[in-house]
């Protein structure tokens, strides 16, 4: 299932088998929260820009259009016309991001719908049931994502509850896989490490969940939610030695190109982040020479592509001056082109990282790129 091909220091080059295909790692998953990439990118676009994994959100799909509708239409792959792997987040992040409209109990989390105000409950069993109906390749266990910083006593209680929730997730995941009507009985399940910025809590939690049978991979969650980059790297360094070597590691919600380089360097295999999309929305695009703000006045009369060395649909056909005009005029095409460019950049950054690991030159690659990716043009 997980084939570790090569290492360079802690950095890992591997292949991970799923029902809908092989995932080459390290990999950046493209975020399509509600079964679509924000900005108007279709699944045909994703295939063209070399996307390996699409990520959708359990909570948002439960809210709209509902997992029963998606299941009736054949599951998430058929619903969105995507024939490659899909990972579904459990809804645990919404326990953090929607804290003003939720309550947490031992049984799970109670939410107020942001659509119509109705009361919604989601616990470990419900999260597994929804993800089973979606038919994703990788399901995430239901957890509580804790804000940083948080009081130590609260973090300890929350992590203990997340462990209890994990055991309930595993039991329900096994039960669902045995049912004849299950869309994807080969669905995999990842557990999530929590613990805020407390190294000792993180390490003990990782040791505990690594002993629990029934998990196909492990994620480090609850980062990129208020801590500094140095704190994040410190937590990864503390947790990584206790993560099973024969299972994939996923750093949730991270991050910038620099974060990804540092994560790979520290032994992480999977990444995801909305950063490429949010930057595109504001006309900020990533290039092999640094970050560019297309809306800058200096690009008004620029007839060159965003990046001369890029093969994305935007750079093949359009100039910075034209894309700047689209953004200024609030034309949707402007954001779409920036989204396609940024996702192309991220996907090809991962291709370059994998090639460097294959060639034993990742350390040199990292040194060369660190200064470039800190540059704004």
Question: Which amino acids are annotated catalytic?
Answer: 89, 272
Q: Given the structure tokens 């031992």, which residue do they identify?
A: 106
What's the CA gap between 261 and 47, in Å, rounded? 24
Q: Name residues whose C-beta falls within 8 Å of residue 335's C-beta, 6 or more positions apart in sequence.
A: 39, 40, 280, 281, 327
Q: Name residues whose C-beta falls within 8 Å of residue 368's C-beta, 6 or more positions apart in sequence.
A: none
Distances (CA, A) of 300 to 157, 267, 307, 316, 323: 55, 42, 16, 19, 9
What's the CA gap between 34 and 117, in Å, rounded? 19
Q: Nearest to residue 352, comparing CAs of 307, 288, 272?
A: 288
What's the CA gap between 188 and 186, in Å, rounded? 6
Q: Given the structure tokens 């006593």, which residue do they identify?
A: 153
With the CA atoms of 256, 187, 80 and 91 taken in that order, what torsion angle do they form, in degrees rounded to the nearest 10? Answer: -60
**295 in helix, strand or coil?**
coil
Determine contact, residues 80/17, Cβ cutoff 8 Å.
no
Query: What are the φ and ψ backbone dihedral angles of 332, each rounded to 5 degrees?
Result: -60, -30
């Amino acid at each position: 299932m997980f084939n570790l091909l090569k290492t360079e220091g802690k950095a890992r080059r591997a292949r991970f088998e799923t029902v809908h295909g092989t995932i080459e790692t390290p990999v950046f998953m493209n975020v399509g929260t509600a079964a679509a990439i924000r900005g108007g990118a279709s699944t045909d676009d994703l295939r063209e820009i070399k996307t390996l994994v699409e990520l959708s959100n359990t909570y948002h799909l439960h809210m709209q259009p509902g997992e029963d509708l998606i299941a009736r239409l054949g599951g998430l792959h058929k619903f969105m016309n995507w024939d490659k792997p899909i990972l579904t987040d459990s809804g645990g992040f919404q326990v953090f991001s929607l804290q003003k409209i939720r309550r947490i109990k031992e049984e799970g989390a109670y939410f107020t719908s942001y659509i119509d105000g109705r009361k919604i409950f989601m616990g470990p069993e419900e999260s597994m049931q929804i993800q089973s109906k979606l038919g994703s390749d990788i399901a995430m266990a239901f957890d509580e994502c804790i804000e940083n910083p948080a009081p130590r006593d609260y973090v300890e209680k929350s992590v203990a509850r997340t462990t209890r929730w994990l055991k309930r997730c595993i039991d329900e995941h096994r039960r669902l896989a045995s049912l004849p009507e299950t869309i994807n009985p080969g669905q995999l399940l990842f557990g999530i490490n929590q613990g805020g910025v407390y190294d000792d809590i993180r390490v003990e939690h990782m040791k505990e969940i690594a002993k629990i049978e029934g998990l196909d991979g492990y994620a480090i969650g609850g980062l990129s939610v208020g801590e500094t980059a140095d704190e994040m790297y410190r937590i990864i360094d503390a947790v990584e030695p206790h993560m099973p070597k024969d299972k994939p590691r996923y750093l949730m919600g991270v991050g910038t190109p620099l974060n990804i380089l540092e994560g790979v360097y520290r032994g992480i295999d999977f990444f995801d982040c909305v950063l490429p999309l949010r930057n595109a929305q504001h006309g900020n695009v990533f290039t092999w020479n640094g970050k560019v703000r297309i809306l800058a006045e200096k690009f008004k009369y620029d007839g060159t592509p965003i990046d001369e060395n890029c093969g994305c649909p935007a750079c093949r056909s359009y100039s910075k001056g034209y894309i700047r005009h689209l953004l200024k005029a609030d034309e949707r095409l402007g954001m779409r082109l920036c989204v396609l460019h940024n996702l192309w950049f991220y996907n090809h950054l991962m291709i370059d990282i994998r090639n460097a690991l294959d060639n034993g030159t990742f350390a040199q690659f990292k040194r060369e790129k660190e200064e470039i990716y800190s540059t704004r043009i």
